[in-house]
Structure 1
Amino acid sequence: MRDALRRSSSRRAEQRTATISTFSLLSLCLPTLLAIGSARANETPLEPAAVEFFETRIRPVLAEHCYACHSAAAGAPKGDFRLDSAEQLRRGGAAGAVIEPGKPADSTLISALKYESYEMPPSGKLPDNVIADFEQWIAMGAPDPRSDAATETVPAAADPQSHWALQKPVRVAAPPVSDRAWPRSVVDAFILARLEAANLKPSAPADPATLLRRLHCDLTGLPPTAAELEQFAAHASDAEYEQAVDRLLASPQFGERWGRYWLDVARYADTKGYVFQEDRNYPTAYKYRDWVIAAFNGDMPFDKFVVNQIAADQTGDATAVAASGFLTLGRRFLNNPQEINDDRIDLMTRGLMGLTVACARCHDHKYDAIPTADYYSLYGILASCTETPRDDGPPLLVDSPQPVVQHVYLRGNGGAHGPEVTRHFLSCLTEGEPQPFQNGSGRMELAQAIASRDNPLTARVWVNRVWGKLFGRGIVTTPSDFGVRGEPPTHPELLDWLAVTFMDEQWSTKRLIRRIVLSNVYRQSSAPRDDCHEADPTNALLAHMNRRRLDLEALRDSLLLAAGRLDMTMGGPSVQLTTPPFANRRAVYGFVERQNLPAFFRTFDFANPNTPAASRPQTASPHQALFMLNSPFALEQARLLAERSAAHAENAPPLADHERISQLYQLALGRKPSLEELTDAATFVVSGVESDQAAQLAAQPRWQFGWGVFDPLSDRVDFHQFPHFRDGTWNGGETFPDAELGWAMLNIQGGHPGDAAHAVIRRFTAPAAGTLRIEGELRHPAAEGNGVVARAVSTARGRIGEWPVAHGASSTVVDGIPVSAGDVIDLVVESGGEHTSDTFLWKATLRLTRDDGTVESWNTLDGIDGPRPATTPPLDRWSQLAQVLLMCNEFAFVD
């Protein structure tokens, strides 16, 4: 196949993709993917998600339970072991290292926390979920962003009057540029100004087919059809493109695509995580998911979208109550209210405003201007609310009759109360002293403050998330951290201009997306540029478009779409995506298991549903290639695509090979094959006929056991497999004799026929061409009855032997029968007349001398097989060709 299908060329040279046999493809993929993984592992910078996990799950526990004895502040650390810096933690203490990165089971720290070796902390064993966090952290490689200095200098908290993210965005005029012809909009002017300052130029526009595919995948998560691509390319113009944008924004699939992005932020799942003695499921979680999709399709103003999700019970809109799932569908932490409220604070502040307020749970924020009192002001709001279960939707968060009096929890310990705090908004986002909220818990006032135009963060954060989804990287590359430790924006004036314009246009997400995708910067080619390698190696200045891999949802949906199986029904209960029979709904409707996320989700970088996701990682691993090569789901779609490619008009002749190949390419890649691809594919398909037949024969069982009728006029056997197997016997059912098949049965020794319509049959399938000899003995041991009649019947030659036996034995020999691969030999036994006392014994040996001289033999006394487990049959050549097209970069990536 390497020679037959050397590559799958697109219209662009850089998009050429090898189309080789699945085995050869894997041999090429693995070294590259392993190298990528190795290089990624050796990078110095930590992944933002890893830093976030350490800061929110590990550092607070160390600070509360460990630093008193194991830090520089402790004077002489016990065991000469410190936990307050990354270097000291890795080094360990007098007894040696306590962590083995990647190996929690081999780490002394874990056995100490479990009280299996040492007992740490000595004040009491930590909860199981906290220990599980440490195991997960070590399994991740024990990422630790702390300084390795002996005494770490903590920088002063950011001045709320000076840090860029805490200043109100200002819409400035578009900057002047030298190339006045290129900018199509203000967005382009901001981008071009930075490019010109770096002596770079923007790239040429993408070709029409590439641009339309990009637009479809970005706005709906589904590729365009071949007909849509062909029509757009034939009439490409600004007007046609603008019409395509408006059509896709109005499509119901828009909400499914962009709603899923929001569900990442909302850490959506259909289960609670680890709980004890209660239902682990959120049975109606899907109502929140459907509300989100409908909100995006209806272009709900984003400020209203935010308020509905925080204070759904107080909006007066009965249709908005499902929005309460934003807060109530999180991880349950064994129903620990302190952990649940911490999760909700993190969701609202990091997810909506890009501030890591949860870091102030135990102490004032180390970097940002967020005092612990601000954390507990928000905590008091949530502690003044209760959950109301609902049968027709997610639990509803409502205000308690009496708000709580909230105190700071010293070092995050709920049993150690510090100063009392009011329920108020964040001080860094308030002019002067924050004023206490007045109405109930203050949750509605909090929602309005977050969604306020006076809040400098909310619009910026959402605009940046939208930009990041469309370009593969945000203007701020830490989309959930706009604080001091976050990355500064690459184009701060553009970010502010977009944020102010977004708010001026009624917080319309669709208008924001429309403005961006109509820009020239979005329409650029993604072809790599040699002149950008040194000046802008990460393409932060956007001198060209970024090539992006389809995420899990878009990849799965595209596979189903190519196979002709995608069900476009919207809404409803979640479905299982990973178990057969495989659901054909869009992946956004898949069941998300929070505690045990299936391997398929993890392999393709699905967002962690335990925490608000800043963004999804983009990894390349051998497991992704192996999934496409071997998973039953991927194989099923390849077969269905191959079958679909053979479709032709009713009463029309079957498609010729070149017509079917062309149809296959259009269904998979949206284009016709080149002449070279067509020639190579045709050669590959024709050359595989014999190997396909051999593979199918190898997958078939040598013996089958059933019942049927021998027709003496046609010398043919009507064969039906026995439905029931137990204790080495095939028969008609649990009850014997069976109501339909009577006494018909087969076992290793022989069997018993039923009536005239139910002879018993051992069916043998020849695995190869050659000469077959049958040799054996048939016995009828009973003294009663009138015996049985046995026959050997070939599908190719008819009756080749017949032996009636009554009250005795007979030799059963057939010699020198030519057979072809796949020929069937039926050993049939029926009653001699009466249907009583017909038990028979038949020992037979079948010996095949293949055409190449090798000899194989099978003896009926060697055993009798029960039902074979369901197996996936091997792909034929057409299905292999379909699989290669579904695996190629042209299918899996968006340029």
Structure 2
Amino acid sequence: MYGRFLFALYLCFPLSASETSVVSAADAAPDFEKEIVPLLINRCLECHQEQNASGNLVLTTRAGLLKGGDSGPAVDLNAPLESYLLERVHAGEMPPEKQGRPQPLPAAERATLKHWIQAGAPWPEARHIDLFERSTDLRAGRDWWSLQPIKRPAVPQLKTFEQPANPIDAFILKRLEDQQMTPAPLADKRTRLRRLYYDLTGLPPTLAEVEAFENDTSPQAWETSIDRLLNSPQYGERWGRYWLDLVRFADTSGYERDQEKPFAWKYRDWVVDSLNNDLPYDQFILQQLAGDEIPDRSERSVIATGFLRLGTWNDEPNDPQDYQYDRLEDLVHTTSSAFLGMTVKCARCHSHKFDPITQEDYYRMASAFWAGPVAPGDRGLLGGPSPEQLGFKEVLGWTDLSATPRALHVLKNGERLHPLQQVEPASLSMVPRLEQAFTPPPEGSPTSQRRLQLARWIINPDHPLTARVLMNRLWQHHFGAGIVRTPNNLGFLADPPTHPELLNWLAAEFQSGGWTLKRMHKLILTSQTWQQSSLHPQQADYRERDSGNRLWWRAERRRLDAEALRDSMLARTGELDLRQGGPGFRPTISPEALEGLSRKDKAWQASPPDEQKRRSLYTYTKRGLLPPMMTTFDLCDTTQSCGKRDVTTVPTQSLALLNNRFVHDRSEALAVKICQTSTKPEDRVKALWERVYARSPSAEEQKLALQHLLVQTKRFREQKTVSPTAEPEAAKRLPPQILAVASLCHVLFNSNEFLYVD
């Protein structure tokens, strides 16, 4: 009644000026495709599609509009101005409130709707409107840029710059040319080599390696360095860490008991080996999703399916049947985020608010992991298959528990007790030209083969997302930010690509080259764009014009991540153990960090000291007890896919470097080595600079360092007690001269030159 009262008031007053101008602008009805369809998609179809239509009102067809819903006909063609749809709109009741806030139609849209209904609501015959058929100012449609076919664009031809040999530079220089900007000059050889080492291996070059490169004047020197590092075992360790972030890798299950996942480390080693062997990316995906279903299945391919077992796991959920849907959400989210750069999990309870992903799409993907039947109390889906089902011992892998899983239904609001229509297993509908239903497995198959079909859909050469997403990740890790700076989301809420044509070119080049990564690394690393300096002659001006460096007019200065920081200290002291693979080591954790744990004496047993000198990649990752120093330097969350780590600058980082026992141990170890080979303070300073910075000290640095040694030696000699930089045992074991050198080493480990890569 209240709504009708408001509508009556509306009829008593003339239209506003803006509405009148719209209605009187033309005698004909509004253009259906240009004006009415966008209005319906933007404002109405989220609630009024065929399935689960609110109030049973369907607005995707003219028949649905005229039929109306629970409240009767929506449009009265005999008295159009009295139509119930107009009444609700002008009463401010439609569109409904969101988060308690009214969402009234703008005056121009109200006028357009009124004019259209007044004209008889003309609607092309057989025209069916789809919520996701086109992009609007509120959401992405199936015409969204990242969902379009990958087409190799022509390499831009430059007008003011000399045409570069590397196509990457042409795309970058074209945008700079348009803005009348110039790129930064090339970084010096030492800077470039250090950047290259950290990019490809996560470790610093030695002084000998720096000098050898600086003295090599051959045209092939740069490419030779790239090839050598790409072929080193440390390449797979560096780039494998990025993938482990994406797939939420950990050695334990999380939750209260946080029990170990047996043999999870084998998946980590599989990733490292796959990258070192340059396994084509399509096979890399196929084995992780369906390594147990492929024709040439092997123990290694089954280990790859550990990808599906890496998530958190509660072995005592409050409601096991509800929990299986939470596990499905983890699988859908990790798969779609890592491989497709889309947040499909948002559609568990309703069609996606921003991307062309229906609620049914979510359950279509979930059906690939619906390893049933799962009876009440059965933990099969929760815990995964047994070794016998996998066919191999000592493997953390995945396989279906049945070739014919029980039916999966769309759930109203994602709630298990409110099932809606049954889902037919299929690919996502956001790429219509590739949409396909999953076929039943052949007779005698032990699995449903749905994951195999999902994987083949993802690696289809015509898939628009797979190559784009990976090339964006590759660019991100080489440059510090992606072409799309939201690497796990290339949908509507994504940061727009800085160079969309370059991203398309890279994706096309990647596919045409057989999906191998190493050649793409080399292509990027040989570009002038990657090799440019982080300093620009017009830095101040360009920062005003492009503060985010979206045009890539200079290189980004980047701080070492947690793993590279720890590994670099071990490398500079000569202690780093480069042994590869196998179970991870447990680092020493301070008693203070163990305070909150029950049974502290048994909760964590550190590995022997020598075992702890391996690369950080091989740290045993316990979800409930991550190493404090690593988390201080932004180690990623292990509960969900992480496409880009946070990079923070906080006081606790300085405090950790100043006080952490691991850092002090490295300082003392290096001091002992230097003092064993050098007796003169001048020689010790020079040796220290060469070990930590891979260069000789300047005259001013030499002077200040000698003063530091003099003051600190006197201090330690007079103190004759424990210094703030050492444990009591160290003070007794090490003489004042060595403690002074350790103090200087500690200063260098805390310096920006050590912590940052230019």
TM-score exceeds 0.5: yes
| Alignment equivalent of 2:473, drawn from 465, 472, 480 | 465
Could you say if the C-alpha distance between residues 350 and 695 of structure 1 is closer, same or farther in structure 2, counting changes exceeding 3 Å? same
* 2:480–2:556 CA contact under 8 A, matched in 1: yes
How do 1:493-532 and structure 2 match up within 5 A? 493-528=501-536, 529-532=539-542
How do 1:782-821 and structure 2 match up within 5 A? none
Describe the superposition over 1:119-144 as per-residue Cα deviations: whole angstroms up to 9, x where unpaired: xxxxxxxxxxxxxxxxxxxxxxxxxx
Could you say if the C-alpha distance between residues 677 and 869 of structure 1 is closer, same or farther in structure 2, counting changes exceeding 3 Å? closer
| Alignment equivalent of 1:310, drawn from 289, 304, 312 | 289
* 1:459–1:499 CA contact under 8 A, matched in 2: yes
Larger helix percent: 2
- Using the TM superposition, give the Cα deviation of residue 178 of structure 1 relative to its aligned residue in structure 2, in angstroms: 2.5
SS at match of 1:408: strand
Distance 1:641 1:367 in 2: 55
Distance 2:728 2:698 in 1: 42
Describe the superposition over 1:365-401 as per-residue Cα deviations: whole angstroms up to 9, x where unpaired: 0111111011111112211365223351213233513
Could you say if the C-alpha distance between residues 560 and 698 of structure 1 is closer, same or farther in structure 2, counting changes exceeding 3 Å? closer
How do 1:707-746 and structure 2 match up within 5 A? none
Alignment match, 2:616: 587
- Using the TM superposition, give the Cα deviation of residue 86 of structure 1 relative to its aligned residue in structure 2, in angstroms: 9.5
Describe the superposition over 1:132-170 as per-residue Cα deviations: whole angstroms up to 9, x where unpaired: xxxxxxxxxxxxxxxxxxxxxx9654221x200000111
Q: CA RMSD in A?
A: 2.4
2:757 maps to 1:894: yes
| Alignment equivalent of 1:230, drawn from 205, 211, 216 | 211
- Using the TM superposition, give the Cα deviation of residue 595 of structure 1 relative to its aligned residue in structure 2, in angstroms: 2.9
Distance 2:530 2:553 in 1: 10
Distance 1:658 1:430 in 2: 71
2:647 maps to 1:639: no
Write the letter of the residue equivalent to 1:430.
P
How do 1:314-463 and structure 2 match up within 5 A? 314-315=293-294, 316-318=296-298, 319-334=300-315, 336-384=323-371, 386=381, 387-390=384-387, 391-398=393-400, 400-431=402-433, 434-439=436-441, 440-463=448-471
- Using the TM superposition, give the Cα deviation of residue 179 of structure 1 relative to its aligned residue in structure 2, in angstroms: 4.0
2:193 maps to 1:212: yes
2:625 maps to 1:617: no
SS at match of 2:177: helix
Describe the superposition over 1:663-701 as per-residue Cα deviations: whole angstroms up to 9, x where unpaired: 10010011010111112212221233221123333569x
Larger radius of gyration: 1
SS at match of 1:522: helix
* 2:158–2:174 CA contact under 8 A, matched in 1: yes
* 2:438–2:453 CA contact under 8 A, matched in 1: no
SS at match of 1:272: coil
TM-score (norm 1): 0.62
TM-score (norm 2): 0.73
Distance 1:432 1:240 in 2: 45
- Using the TM superposition, give the Cα deviation of residue 359 of structure 1 relative to its aligned residue in structure 2, in angstroms: 0.2
| Alignment equivalent of 1:476, drawn from 484, 492, 497 | 484
- Using the TM superposition, give the Cα deviation of residue 872 of structure 1 relative to its aligned residue in structure 2, in angstroms: 7.6
Could you say if the C-alpha distance between residues 86 and 560 of structure 1 is closer, same or farther in structure 2, counting changes exceeding 3 Å? farther
| Alignment equivalent of 1:535, drawn from 534, 545, 548 | 545
Distance 1:607 1:323 in 2: 22
* 2:563–2:630 CA contact under 8 A, matched in 1: no
Distance 1:600 1:455 in 2: 41
* 1:632–1:872 CA contact under 8 A, matched in 2: no
Distance 2:571 2:101 in 1: 51
Runs of 4+ in 1 over 4 A off after TM superposition: 154-157, 868-875
| Alignment equivalent of 1:565, drawn from 575, 583, 599 | 575
Distance 1:586 1:285 in 2: 17
Could you say if the C-alpha distance between residues 195 and 618 of structure 1 is closer, same or farther in structure 2, counting changes exceeding 3 Å? same
Alignment match, 1:770: none
* 1:577–1:587 CA contact under 8 A, matched in 2: no
Distance 1:670 1:185 in 2: 31
SS at match of 1:396: coil
| Alignment equivalent of 2:498, drawn from 475, 490, 494 | 490
Alignment match, 1:176: 157
Alignment match, 1:630: 659
- Using the TM superposition, give the Cα deviation of residue 333 of structure 1 relative to its aligned residue in structure 2, in angstroms: 4.1
SS at match of 2:399: strand
SS at match of 2:400: strand
Could you say if the C-alpha distance between residues 252 and 87 of structure 1 is closer, same or farther in structure 2, counting changes exceeding 3 Å? farther
SS at match of 2:556: coil
Describe the superposition over 1:6-36 as per-residue Cα deviations: whole angstroms up to 9, x where unpaired: xxxxxxxxxxxxxxxxxxxxxxxxxxxxxxx
Distance 1:699 1:380 in 2: 62
* 1:403–1:441 CA contact under 8 A, matched in 2: no
Alignment match, 1:686: 710
2:674 maps to 1:672: no
* 1:360–1:371 CA contact under 8 A, matched in 2: yes
* 1:168–1:454 CA contact under 8 A, matched in 2: yes
Alignment match, 1:746: none
* 1:382–1:441 CA contact under 8 A, matched in 2: no
- Using the TM superposition, give the Cα deviation of residue 501 of structure 1 relative to its aligned residue in structure 2, in angstroms: 0.5
Distance 1:223 1:165 in 2: 37
Describe the superposition over 1:162-219 as per-residue Cα deviations: whole angstroms up to 9, x where unpaired: 2000001111111111244362300000000011111110110000000000000000
Alignment match, 2:721: 697
SS at match of 1:570: coil
SS at match of 1:419: strand
* 1:552–1:605 CA contact under 8 A, matched in 2: yes
* 1:376–1:407 CA contact under 8 A, matched in 2: yes
Could you say if the C-alpha distance between residues 696 and 414 of structure 1 is closer, same or farther in structure 2, counting changes exceeding 3 Å? farther
Write the letter of the residue equivalent to 1:394.
L
- Using the TM superposition, give the Cα deviation of residue 483 of structure 1 relative to its aligned residue in structure 2, in angstroms: 0.6
* 2:207–2:695 CA contact under 8 A, matched in 1: yes
- Using the TM superposition, give the Cα deviation of residue 894 of structure 1 relative to its aligned residue in structure 2, in angstroms: 0.6
Describe the superposition over 1:610-664 as per-residue Cα deviations: whole angstroms up to 9, x where unpaired: 000020011111111111100110000011111222243xxxxx43211111110
SS at match of 1:418: strand
Describe the superposition over 1:453-503 as per-residue Cα deviations: whole angstroms up to 9, x where unpaired: 111001100000010000000000010001111112110000000001101
Distance 1:593 1:87 in 2: 43
Distance 1:465 1:395 in 2: 26
Distance 1:176 1:215 in 2: 29
2:682 maps to 1:658: yes
- Using the TM superposition, give the Cα deviation of residue 236 of structure 1 relative to its aligned residue in structure 2, in angstroms: 4.4
- Using the TM superposition, give the Cα deviation of residue 297 of structure 1 relative to its aligned residue in structure 2, in angstroms: 0.2
Could you say if the C-alpha distance between residues 180 and 432 of structure 1 is closer, same or farther in structure 2, counting changes exceeding 3 Å? closer
2:276 maps to 1:297: yes
Distance 1:498 1:659 in 2: 49
Larger strand percent: 1
Deviates more, 1:445-454 or 1:171-180: 171-180
Write the letter of the residue equivalent to 2:701.
E
Structure 1: gaps spanning 5 or more residues: 1-72, 74-81, 89-153, 649-653, 701-867
Could you say if the C-alpha distance between residues 450 and 600 of structure 1 is closer, same or farther in structure 2, counting changes exceeding 3 Å? same
SS at match of 1:382: coil
SS at match of 2:149: coil
Distance 1:179 1:662 in 2: 47
* 2:721–2:731 CA contact under 8 A, matched in 1: no
Write the letter of the residue equivalent to 2:280.
P
Distance 1:602 1:86 in 2: 38
Alignment match, 2:182: 201
- Using the TM superposition, give the Cα deviation of residue 412 of structure 1 relative to its aligned residue in structure 2, in angstroms: 0.2
How do 1:235-314 and structure 2 match up within 5 A? 235-274=216-255, 280-314=259-293
Could you say if the C-alpha distance between residues 86 and 691 of structure 1 is closer, same or farther in structure 2, counting changes exceeding 3 Å? farther
